[in-house]
Chains A and B, each alone.
Chain A
Amino acid sequence: MIELQRASRWYGQVIGVNDVTCTIGQGITGLLGENGAGKSTLIKLVTGQLRPTTGAVTVFGETPFANSSVFRRLGYCPETDSFYEHMSCEEFLLLMARLSGVPSSEAAAVAERSLRRVGMYDSRKRKLGACSKGMRQRIRIAQAVQHDPEVLILDEPMSGLDPVGRKEMSDLLLEFGATRTVIISSHILYEVEALTRSIILLHRGRLLAQGDVRRIRDLIDRHPHQVVVETDGSARLLAKELVGLSSVVAARIEGDESRLIVETPRPDEFYTQLRDIVLANNIPLRTFYSQDNNLEAVFRYLVKG
């Protein structure tokens, strides 16, 4: 649905996006990266605000720049907090609905529906200039989804929302992601992780990784998984049994001999072996978990090295 083929974009001497090739299909995809990684540039390329300096960007098989037929099926929630401040929430959504191609006879109903969807119906008459940051964010999302687009691109969609709002937005995005293509650019890794395992990771304009976060994690050989195993004082005994395993590269005891940190490049194999050892030696096991089999670890390992 969205395809970038060796797309690059320069701003004078500064490279925004550097030779990125990726395909984004149905479902939710998290677009991650540090500040200045190129996320906003990539979004602007996909939403047709910029042209690539080299390479190609296509959405629905067409170039998105100034392409009405693409925009009919695309919804965009920008990061910038800018509106027609003098308009009420309702007036603004009405205008955006009409600009999105909704006939005038249906625009009011569409606007009302999207206001209810984002929990802003009671504040519909309030001027945008008088709305709080969270309310404005809800309106920003409402204008992106109200014309039922096939592709939804959201730049920092949770910004300014309270915890209830974040939950509501997550539910909305999950609902959308079930049948549509959703791209979320965010710094809040745990929120992206709650929505999807499919990520695109950018660093200094380059594509670092794309795909399932767990698969990517597995491929990061130089950073073996760190598994925490908590026992009732039998950490040393367990360590003695585990260090002989080929799937274990290191083990260390922390604290009061009840906590063992094991490093393993093959976690699935390790978990099977751990089970066998615990049962065979009757070692009381409280819990075990991987503390870096997550998005934050992937981000840290790939970006920081």
Chain B
Amino acid sequence: MNALAIAIWFLKDTLQPKRAVTAVLLGIIGPLFALLFRAFGFTPAETYDASVQLGIFSATLVLAAIAYGGGIVTSEVLGRTIPLLLTRPVPRWTLFMGKWLGAIVLTAAISVVACFLTAVLSFGIEFDTNMLLRDMLVLSAGAVTYVSLFGLLSVLSKRAWLIAAIFGFFWETWVTYVPGDFRRLSVMTYLKQLSPHADVGGQESPLEALSEAFQTAPIDPLTCWNTLAVLTILSLAVSIAVFSTAEFLPTEEAG
């Protein structure tokens, strides 16, 4: 069984009717935001910007990557099914790659479909195709990078989901407020540079005021793509190296 076959099995398994609820719930965040924002009087452009930025980039993409990427190895270890996999004549790197591919496809698909539905709910049928395609592409790239990062966490720790949640919802936000080039340590910075959306205005938090005082120059797109690519490749390489050589025994997360 090769990596592609494993990926297909993973997708079929995760998208079975009862188990697909998670994917559906993650996917409706953006469209739900769009419906509410339109109801609350935002313009179509504001609706789309806010829904995509807050609902899809900051929520759906990160949560899906945590759920599927962070569970690549952790779910098997905590579910105590890891011996069943590791005693098969399938190279460990193939096992990892298969689940990694499946997690990326799923995360990207949920984000992309959510983005499309958000565009339709915001603009009707008159959405800007170029902008939508750009966002879909960047979301897909974000899926690849986040899943790779969280996949690495799942190889290194059985609490990958907790570390990924702290990274995704704390580090990714706060580091952008730190003066200087600290923002370059955040994946979301590059994604937002590649797919900029207007901020939803209003009351400014002290951190946002501080951040504005230390504005830095934008990062050029090529650097963004290169950084995401390097991060992905490094994470994947280290994940495969560790998974192929480390020992994994079934364990349980105590209550």
Contact = CB atoms under 8 A, between A and B. Distances in A.
Contacts of A47: 83, 87
Given A44-B249, A51-B247, A98 B89 contact: no
Interface residues of B, number: 26
A76 B82 CA distance: 12
Contacts of A69: 89
B22 to A, nearest CB: 12
B79 A82 contact: yes
A83 B250 CA distance: 12
A69 B247 CA distance: 18
A100 interface: yes
B84 A96 contact: yes
* Interface of chain B: mostly helix, strand, loop or mixed: loop
B244 interface: yes
Contact of B250 (A72, A80, A100): A80
B251 to A, nearest CB: 10
A86 B87 contact: no
Nearest to B249: A49
Given A71-B89, A101-B89, A82 B18 contact: no
Contact of A99 (B79, B80, B88, B247): B88
A254 to B, nearest CB: 50
Interface string B79-103: 1110111111111100000000000
* Interface of chain A: mostly helix, strand, loop or mixed: loop
A291 interface: no
A139 to B, nearest CB: 11
B89 A68 contact: yes
Contacts of B125: none
Interface string B191-233: 0000000000000000000000000000000000000000000
Nearest to B19: A86
B77 to A, nearest CB: 11
B9 interface: yes
A63 to B, nearest CB: 12
Interface string A139-183: 000010000000000000000000000000000000000000000
Interface of B: 1, 5, 9, 13, 16, 18-19, 79-81, 83-92, 244-245, 247-250
20 contacts: A49-B86, A49-B87, A50-B249, A68-B90, A71-B87, A71-B89, A71-B90, A76-B83, A80-B83, A80-B250, A82-B84, A83-B84, A86-B13, A86-B16, A96-B84, A98-B1, A99-B88, A99-B89, A101-B89, A101-B90
Interface of A: 44, 47-51, 66, 68-72, 74, 76, 78, 80, 82-84, 86-87, 95-96, 98-101, 104, 143
